[in-house]
Structure 1
Amino acid sequence: MKIGILDADLVGRQKHRFPNLVCEKLSGYWKEHGAEVTLLLDYDHFDEYDHVFVSKVFTDTPVPEWLRETEKVHIGGTGFFFDKAPNLPDEIEHHMPDYRLYDSWIHSEVERAKTEYARKGKPFNEKSFMVQFKEYTDYCIGFVTRGCFRKCPFCVNQKFDRVFKHSPLEEFYYEGCKKICLLDDNFLGCPGWREMLQQLIATKKPFKFKQGLDERLLTDEKCEMLFSSNYDGDYTFAFDNIADYDLIHEKLKMIRRHTTTRCIKFYVLCAFESTDEVDIENTFKRIALLMDYQCLPYIMRYQNKNDTPWKRSEYKGMYVSLARWCNQPSIFKKMSFRQFCEANQALHKTEGTYCSAMQAMVEFEEKFPDIAAKYFDLRYADGKGGEQ
């Protein structure tokens, strides 16, 4: 039997660099059953396969208009069904992923780059080039828990109202992988978090929670275990709602009691409740608090499966500039928002006009000088690291 597997996000999104776990599980399952499995990189040859599986995570990933579920073409994932995505059959959901599914694609990308560099007469550093594929080559990936009780209206995870154990670690843990990546929705909300965290630590492998952790559930015990573990990279949390300001403030104090050196990052959701000056101010207020504790914000501009509200806002330029400023840590750590806009203006080539960042800042400041005076000149470097 010939099986085609297509990762729609890989095909449809420029520079997408994260493996589709469903695709890897499907590949592992069908290979175990003797099938010839091929990773497809286009939609042109479906008729050559007995079955084709197309999986999509992101709703805005483009797919052909003609793509439909048929007897031999099967589609799935949140990108197609948002919060109504059907579950995989248990025998596939709990199958060891095929961590070699993407090998041929990675090899072709390397060879293409070598050819391109040679054509331009430039030296090719394969080790440096391969860094972009680290999630494909270095990590075993899975869920030890599923579900969340928060029911956040902006979140795709609406299917469950609790957090529960999903897979034992050994179900997707492969000794040959250097690291572990967890995709859990709200790991700290599971009653069995302690035992599972101890198991992760016991592997002695670096591990990370790709989706972030719920800092509202932190306790001193959780902080002690997390911040003393062999964690991979930055610790990531979320600051989605200004209503949580006081609670997040208390948790930031707790975090910095346990670690003063580890890099802490927060996803900061904006453009959800509104796309007006109030939302802009609330975004800056959260950024300012994170600055005080030497934490990095990462701006997440809300979009749903049908709409991107911030793109219709009169402050679209501010949303773009905020994301460009915050989401580049090397810039955010050195410049205030005003300095960032001024730096962009200095690079602007059309004399007598503003660049988009400067234009957005100037117009907003003219309308709301009090907001600008309070936030535009704050700098990460002036943060106290939580020593308050």
Structure 2
Amino acid sequence: SRHFKNQGRKVTLARGTALLRSAAEVYASAVFHNDHTRRKIETLKRHYGDKLNLGGSGVDLYQRLPAEIEGLPSDYDLYPNLGDRAIGFLTRGCPRHCAFCIVPKKEGSPRLVADLDDLLQGGRGNKLILLDDNLLAAPGAESLLEQMASRRIQVNFTQTLDIRLVDRKRADLLKRIHCSNTRFTRRNYHFSLNDCSGLDLVLEKYGLFDFRASDNVEFICMYGYRTTLAEDLERFRFLRSLPGAYVFVQCYQPIPNGPEPSMDGFFDGAVDRLIDELVTVQFTQNMKSMEKYYRWLSRLYAERFGRLHRQLVDTIFRYNNRPGKGRYIETLAGTIRGRVRDER
């Protein structure tokens, strides 16, 4: 938008499938590659035709803006809700090659792309939302952390930090930085835990922080990719054992030409016992996010076994949408119409 505004053109930000009759050119970005996204794209194509320019990781991993446009300052006029918050990248890229992740293909190896002064301009002095893929893996990461700490910048590491790359010095620096949620209303740390590999290492690194409950340590946990129910339970139990930790679950989203989720062995083991144990793992906050996982699991269970797991259903409706419980049972978690005959 900054590029076009510099040419004297008017730019409007629209979300979803907004259909603007007067648009001379339309640029749309799709993050994900799924049926929902494809339906939106088809709607936009029908309306805008040749005026539409499509991009984003959900369309083409390798499409890039010209460097001279990519390097322009952010156009904050399009995002008045940000207020005095800055947003952007200091680094891009990641050295990991997780099969489910597009970053190595899309962004390449870790590298510096901006400095703090590039992002904190126009009166945006000390609130920064960072979109970096893996900041701790980038060259000069400690220098960036030092600057954030010494300048007392509040930072939201919204894409999470790689806890495996933390050492004592980095832990101390991150504790000095006011790590925050996106609204900067409370302290928040963000990590991720997408499978059960390296739990001992995560425990060791976590211990370097001496976290307390007031630190609000959020772990992003992906599900629906290639973990089993037993492994999901192990992850949630592990995180519940960490002081101050809680979960934010995210369902795996496919990427163009990427791996398909594999759920073949998901229900291996004593399934009902595992679910009984799962619903006893209660976090001190953000259980609404866990409800999303419960609903996904309940539907998968119904599709596989043709019945509902009573304790799981009771947990889903313990606090929210209680009037909808009857309909949920009647339709077997939305998988059929009619009444359920066999309910555990």
Q: TM-score, normalised by structure 2?
A: 0.70
**Within 1, Cα distance between the matches of 2:317 and 2:76?**
46
Report how far residue 163 of structure 1 moved: 1.1
Q: CA 1:223–1:152 in structure 2 vs 1: closer, same or farther (change >3 Å)? A: same
Q: CA 1:87–1:180 in structure 2 vs 1: closer, same or farther (change >3 Å)? A: same
Q: 2:56 aligns with which of 65, 77, 84?
A: 77
Q: CA 1:225–1:329 in structure 2 vs 1: closer, same or farther (change >3 Å)? A: same
Residues 76 and 85, structure 1, Cα contact 8 Å, conserved in 2: no
Report how far residue 216 of structure 1 moved: 0.4
Q: 1:169 aligns with which of 91, 108, 116?
A: 116
Question: Within the alignment, does 1:215 sit opposite 2:163 as a pair?
Answer: yes
- Range with greater deviation from structure 2 (30-39 or 178-187): 30-39
**Within 2, Cα distance between the matches of 1:59 and 1:139?**
29
Q: State the SS of the aligned residue for 2:221.
A: strand
Q: 1:296 aligns with which of 239, 242, 246?
A: 246
- Cα offsets for 1:140-183 (capped at 9, x unmatched): 11110010010111112122552111112222323433621010
Q: Which runs of 5+ in 1 are unaligned?
A: 1-26, 104-132, 358-365, 367-388
Q: CA 1:194–1:245 in structure 2 vs 1: closer, same or farther (change >3 Å)? A: same
Residues 229 and 267, structure 2, Cα contact 8 Å, conserved in 1: no
**Paired AA for residue 182 in structure 1:** L
User: How many residues are matched?
Assistant: 288
Report how far residue 71 of structure 1 moved: 6.3
Q: State the SS of the aligned residue for 1:329.
A: coil
**Within 2, Cα distance between the matches of 1:255 and 1:86?**
39
Q: TM-score, normalised by structure 1?
A: 0.63
**Paired AA for residue 170 in structure 1:** D
Q: Provide the alpha-carbon RMSD of the alignment.
A: 4.0
**Within 2, Cα distance between the matches of 1:344 and 1:355?**
15
- Range with greater deviation from structure 2 (146-155 or 58-67): 58-67
Q: List, as ranges, runs of 4+ consecutive aligned residues in structure 1 with deviation greater than 3 Å.
A: 40-46, 66-72, 258-261, 305-319, 325-328, 330-333, 337-351, 353-357
**2:68 is matched with which residue?**
91
**Paired AA for residue 49 in structure 1:** A
Report how far residue 238 of structure 1 moved: 0.9
Q: State the SS of the aligned residue for 2:78.
A: coil
Question: Within the alignment, does 1:185 sit opposite 2:133 as a pair?
Answer: yes
Residues 151 and 161, structure 1, Cα contact 8 Å, conserved in 2: no
**2:26 is matched with which residue?**
52
1:56-205 alignment to 2 at 5 Å? Answer: 56-60=30-34, 61=37, 62-65=39-42, 67=44, 72-81=51-60, 84-103=61-80, 133=81, 136-159=82-105, 160-177=107-124, 179-205=127-153
**Within 1, Cα distance between the matches of 2:282 and 2:29?**
31
Q: CA 1:330–1:148 in structure 2 vs 1: closer, same or farther (change >3 Å)? A: closer
**Within 1, Cα distance between the matches of 2:264 and 2:85?**
35
Q: CA 1:253–1:332 in structure 2 vs 1: closer, same or farther (change >3 Å)? A: farther
Q: State the SS of the aligned residue for 1:158.
A: helix
Question: Which structure has greater helix proportion?
Answer: 1
Residues 226 and 263, structure 2, Cα contact 8 Å, conserved in 1: no
1:178-327 alignment to 2 at 5 Å? Answer: 179-233=127-181, 234-256=188-210, 261-274=214-227, 279-294=228-243, 295-305=245-255
Residues 182 and 209, structure 1, Cα contact 8 Å, conserved in 2: yes
Q: State the SS of the aligned residue for 1:242.
A: coil
**1:33 is matched with which residue?**
7
Report how far residue 63 of structure 1 moved: 1.7
Q: State the SS of the aligned residue for 2:59.
A: helix
Residues 144 and 182, structure 1, Cα contact 8 Å, conserved in 2: yes
**Within 2, Cα distance between the matches of 1:222 and 1:260?**
20
Q: State the SS of the aligned residue for 1:272.
A: coil
